[in-house]
Structure 1
Amino acid sequence: MSQGRIAFQGELGANSHEACMAAFPDLEPVPHATFEAAFQAVKTGDCQLGMIPVENSTAGRVADVHHLLPASGLKIVGERFKPIHFQLMANPGVKLEDVETAVSMAFGLAQCSKLIRQLKLKTESVGDTAGAAKLLAQNPDPTRAAISPALAAEIYGLNILARDVEDEHHNTTRFLVMTAEKTPAPPPFTTPCITSFVFRVRNLPAALYKAMGGFATNGVNISKLESYMENGAWTATFFYAEADGRPEDRGLALAFEELQFFSEKFEILGVYPADPFRTRG
């Protein structure tokens, strides 16, 4: 296994690239065209870790990733919250009044809708935010601008026409750090932790209510509970959840025991330190 590389989805200059540099400055960020490819790079050992975005405070969850997580065979070993800032950038010499079309990932366009309406721009969606900057650098067009992170302007030689154009200043993306290790080292016991898990309830009346009851009676906080379908089956709903604590904590252990009684499938995806960003005011 390579000990010096971290996989992310997108082109060089993407928000995920910036997140890799901030969290793991000693690892080489390695771009991949799709989330599947990034997961596979970690699974095969080409990269030691993966940095995968799962949700954004403005635009919501990155749905594709939630479908990939349980089937990936990877474990979650960390989380990182990254404030997101987008820049409107264009080829050298282009002025703001020349721009007619904003190009970015659909996620990026959604997070900058106020500027797009204000400037009355048309929009065009591409695979990722930094990819929009790369395409513009390769195919100069005075009527087009990319909505991308500042790092992309630096990498692809574009000029920033408007800075920090995201709708909300609190705009933040949460990333999960993934590894192919089957039994990663547990976090220090002095560190507040999050446990991620998936489950499918048995086909019983009020099964979800009963399955989750143990968390309430044992005083365990569930910070996330989301449903998703597996293999397109409408009748078999899986749930992805996150709870405060570790599986060996008495309250969470008892809650998991009750959950499994009402579930036909249960799997822990990772136990990892809670990012201190969670507790910021």
Structure 2
Amino acid sequence: MQSYPPLAQHLVDEMRARAAAEPARAVAFQGAPGAYSHQAVREVAPEGLPLPCFSFEDALAAVQDGLAALAVIPVENSLHGRVADVHFLLPESGLFVTGEHYVKVEHCLLGAPGASLAEVREAISHPQALGQCRKRLRALGVRPTSFADTAAAAAAVGGEGDPSVAAIASRLAGELYGNSLLVEGLQDADHNRTRFLLLARTPRDLGRVEGPVKTTLAFEVKNVPAALFKALGGFATNGINLTRLESHLRGGAFTAAEFLIDIEGRPQDAHVARALEELAFHSKWVRLLGSYPMVPPEVAAP
């Protein structure tokens, strides 16, 4: 699948036309209208113009090319872990992280118009959504099948009319595409939340920001014993909290790994600067991706 289902395409065309007329207000997201990324855009930029993009690369490219001022990209979920591919797309994009946002994800099982739960044999959705509902799907005896994104799946089910196929998506998607609401709260746990990062062409000015700040950065360790221990040691000795740490390999070699981390603090803070200096000494390269206000833990996971 390299395009949107017909039910979604006309909404995509309308939204793209509005965004093209005012790119300074456009906010790019991956997925069809009604996706959780669309919900995130509406929450972080209520006056913005949502710009649907088929892939994460397309959403980032929209900002790179000046078609949008901002992109809102999911990076991790409390139930199913990191969002695939984003960990290496962010450092490559050349964009800056300017904020974070958390969305409470409440999945619905959406059928074709007039369908019933007893008829459903297959559920289509984005792999993240399928993973977040895997136990409930197994209990219902429904087979999971990967699809481009949650809202596009709802549009496909609504347009094709096969009662044996349902979609996992938001209630908003079901309303947009005329699906039958078969099950609400399909996710395996109530704490299901997705963290999104906001990305722009220029870094955020934190001059007047007074609360806690996070910094996101990427680095590659040297291929030597205890490389990661040495690289991260400066954060421990300087009392800096790491809130996220993930690794990946690149280039077909199973040697030195690249890491994406979030820390509490600004690069200009003396203790952070010392830790970053030590990190650089023990790494092949370090890339600062942006600093931004930290969402308080009680808001991120109430």
The alpha carbon displacement at 1:277 in A equals 4.4
Aligned counterparts of 1:230 and 1:96: Cα–Cα separation in 2: 44
1:238 pairs, out of 243, 250, 258, with 258
The answer for unaligned runs of 5 or more in structure 2 is 1-21
Q: Give 4+ residue runs of structure 1 displaced > 3 Å after superposition.
A: 277-281
TM-score (norm 2): 0.89
The structural deviation recorded for 1:117 is 1.5
- Three-state SS of the structure 1 residue aligned to 2:23 is coil
Match of 2:10 in 1: none
In the alignment, which residue of structure 1 is the partner of 2:8? none
Instruction: Name 1:163's counterpart in structure 2.
Output: 184
SS in 2 for 1:26: coil
Letter in 1 for 2:154: A
**Aligned residue in 2 for 1:102:** 123
In 1: Cα distance, 2:163 partner to 2:191 partner: 31
- Kept in 1, the 8 Å contact 2:112–2:157? The answer is yes
| Number of positions where the alignment pairs a residue of Structure 1 with one of Structure 2 | 280
2: CA distance between counterparts of 1:8 and 1:226? 23
- Match of residue 108 from structure 2: 87
Instruction: State the Cα deviation string for residues 26-79 of structure 1 (Å, max 9, x = none).
Output: 111111111111110111010110010000010110121001011111100000
Partner of 2:68: 47
Check conservation: 1:129, 1:148, Cα contact below 8 A: yes
Which residue of 2 is the match for residue 275 of structure 1?
A: 295
Which residue identity lines up with residue 200 of structure 1 in the other structure?
A: E
Q: Please say if residues 121 and 143 of structure 2, whose CA atoms lie closer than 8 Å, have aligned partners that are also in contact.
A: yes
Contact 2:223 2:255 in 1 (8 A): no
> For residues 94 and 203 of structure 1, do their structure 2 counterparts lie closer, same or farther at Cα, with a shift above 3 Å needed?
closer
Deviation at 1:278, TM superposition (A): 5.2
- Greater share of helix residues, 1 or 2? 2
CA contact (8 A) 1:215 1:252 kept: yes
Counterpart pick for 2:201 among 147, 170, 180: 180
Percent identity, aligned pairs only, is 43
Match of 1:264 among 271, 279, 284: 284
TM-score, normalised to structure 1, is 0.95
SS in 1 for 2:255: coil
Give the conservation status (yes or no) of the 8 Å contact 2:23–2:67. yes
Which residue of 215, 240, 243 maps to 2:235? 215
Q: 2:213 aligns with which of 187, 193, 198?
A: 193
Instruction: Tell me what 1:129 maps to.
Output: 150
- Shifted more, 103-112 versus 222-231: the winner is 222-231
